[in-house]
Amino acid sequence: MTEMVEPLTASVTVAGVNARLRRRYAVDRWFRALGVSAIVAALTFLILLLGTIIGQGYTAFAQSQIRLAITFDAAILDPDGRGDPAVLGTADYGRLIRQSLETLFPDATERAQRRELSRLMSPGADLELRGMLLADPSLMGRTEEIWLPTSSPVDQLVKGHTGRTAEEGGQFTDGELRRIDRLRSDGRLAARFNKWLFTQGDSRQPELAGLAGAVVGSFYSLLVTVLLSFPLGVAAAVYLEEFARQSRWTDIVEVNINNLAAVPSIVFGLLGLEIFLNVLGLPRSAPLVGGLALTLVSLPTIIIAARVALKAVPPWVREAALALGASRLQMVTHHVLPLAMPGILTGTIIGMARAVGETAPLLMIGMVAFVVNVPATPVDPATALPVQIYLWAASPERGFVERTSAAIIVLLCFLAVMNAAAIYLRKRYERRWG
């Protein structure tokens, strides 16, 4: 047994020690509770945000469509019978739709009623038929049951976003409501998968507006950004970290890079406008220029991330390589860069994720135009996802509200995939050498 050790001072008592311990534990508990509540608060906001967006946006992935028996009548579409694409391209497909609707509702004989019938369908439904015939000329003369998009007001009514009566925001006559109800009970009117959202470019008609143009525009921009900012950023970081001697000049460069990372992106947009469009004369609204502007935005971030990753490589790796007679370049390419690569890639992907969501610089170089066609090359006019969200959010039609949220969901999916890739890369390389 050990003897009792006399306390150093009389003031140290068992009770005093216990009281201090209790206080320490209490502070500990408080601190943990504070941390938990901070996380709960952050998660609540996140769930609220996601819940609102998904709640508002999920209906946009479906679109109300009416199944019509369409006869591709050669007498209307191609009276000369020569199959000339120019004739087929300008033919009156709307008449096929009107004929089909009139056979469904033979009681609609007055002009006003016939106009009401036309208002059931999207003004772009005839383009759908044209596309089908041009893709498959053998349809000529045949009768097919085809699902065609309804107009946006009908779509909103089917989805329950607007009411039936005028007080509830409805804009339909009793006759129209009757016909809509009959189509639904016949199984001819239903909300089906909205393929236009993923295959079409922008449109003035919400039911025909799609994200394909914006997604492709974002993809091309991002491609240009990655191809430029990754090699440039890594080369700059490697030079500054591994080759440049510490001097006043490198200090100035370092301070300036850190400052550039904090410059608002709209300033880079203005710079891009002046240099790429006004001086170099590159095409306006093109993803190429968007990518160049986003390169300016993301380059400082990537340089800083790459420098941090290079700094994290322990110095003994460099010493070991140099002591074996490796040149500085061999030391960097054989040892330092491979070890720093997961960090550099993570930083790059996070920089890219920021670039995907960047709007302001794209506005300045004209990627905010109304572009119907999906861009085929990086020099065609295009928008990008965040710009599309901005454009749709500013559109007055009821149908664009849900589509704005749908576009946000698509953008968030983009970001989630990119961040998951960053995490995957980091984990993979970390595991490689235990």
Partner 1 sequence: MMSNSDGEPVASAKIKVVARDVNVFYSDKHALKAVNLDVRANEVTALIGPSGCGKSTFLRCLNRMNDLIDGARVTGTIAIDQQDIYLKDLDVVQLRARVGMVFQKPNPFPKSIFDNVAYGPRIHGLAGTGAELEEIVVTSLKRAGLFEEVKDRLNEAGTGLSGGQQQRLCIARAIAVSPEVILMDEPCSALDPIATAKVEELIDELRQNYTIIVVTHSMQQAARVSQRTAFFHLGELVEVGDTEQIFTNPNHKLTQGYITGRFG
Cβ-based nearer residue to partner 1, 111 or 245: 245
Q: Toward partner 1, which CB reaches closer, 335 or 398?
A: 335
Nearer to partner 1, 18 or 330 (CB): 330
**Does the protein bind partner 1 through residue 248 (CB under 8 A)?**
no
User: Does residue 6 interact with partner 1 by CB under 8 A?
Assistant: no
Please, what is the minimum distance in Å from the beta carbon of residue 431 to partner 1? Answer: 11
Size of the site for partner 1 (CB under 8 A): 20
Q: How far is the CB of 318 from partner 1 (least distance, A)?
A: 8
Name which of 106 and 315 has its Cβ closer to partner 1.
315
Closest approach, Cβ 325 to partner 1, in A, equals 4
Q: Does 320 bind partner 1 (CB under 8 A)?
A: yes
- Binding flag, residue 428, partner 1 (CB under 8 A): no
> Do residues 193 and 61 make contact, with C-beta atoms less than 8 angstroms apart?
yes
State the nearest-atom distance from the C-beta of 32 to partner 1, in Å: 37
Q: Taking the complex as a whole, how short is the minimal distance between the CB of residue 230 and partner 1, in angstroms?
A: 23
Binding residue for partner 1 (CB under 8 A) from 88, 212, 317, 393? 317
HEC profile of the chain = CCCCCCCCCCCCCHHHHHHHHHHHHHHHHHHHHHHHHHHHHHHHHHHHHHHHHHHHHHHHHEEEEEEEEEECCHHHHCCCCCCCHHHHHHCCHHHHHHHHHHHHCCCCCCHHHHHHHHHHECCCHHHHHHHHHHHCHHHCCCEEEEEEEECHHHHHHHCCCCCCCCCCCCCCCHHHHHHHHHHHHCCCEEEEECCHHHHCCCCCCHHHCCCHHHHHHHHHHHHHHHHHHHHHHHHHHHHHHHHCCCCHHHHHHHHHHHHHHCCCHHHHHHHHHHHHHHHCCCCCCCHHHHHHHHHHHHHHHHHHHHHHHHHCCCHHHHHHHHHCCCCHHHHHHHHHHHHHHHHHHHHHHHHHHHHHCCCHHHHHCCCCCCCCCCCCCCCCCCCCHHHHHHHHHCCCCCHHHHHHHHHHHHHHHHHHHHHHHHHHHHHHHHHHCC
Q: Does 431 bind partner 1 (CB under 8 A)?
A: no
The answer to whether residue 253 forms part of the interface with partner 1 (CB under 8 A) is no
Among 127, 190, 261, 339, binds partner 1 (CB under 8 A): 339
The pair phi, psi for residue 145, each rounded to 5°, is -85, 115
Is residue 335 a contact point for partner 1 (CB under 8 A)? yes
* 324 is a contact residue toward partner 1 (CB under 8 A): yes
**Residue closer to partner 1 (CB basis): 185 or 247:** 247
Given 140, 322, 363, 418, the residue binding partner 1 (CB under 8 A):
322
CB of 307 to partner 1, least distance (A): 17
393 sits near partner 1 (criterion: CB under 8 A): no
Q: Any contact of residue 14 with partner 1 (CB under 8 A)?
A: no
Find the shortest distance in angstroms from Cβ 322 to partner 1: 7
Given candidates 10, 138, 160, 245, which one binds partner 1 under the rule CB under 8 A? 245
Question: Which residues here bind partner 1, judged by CB under 8 A?
Answer: 245-246, 316-327, 330, 334-335, 339, 433-434
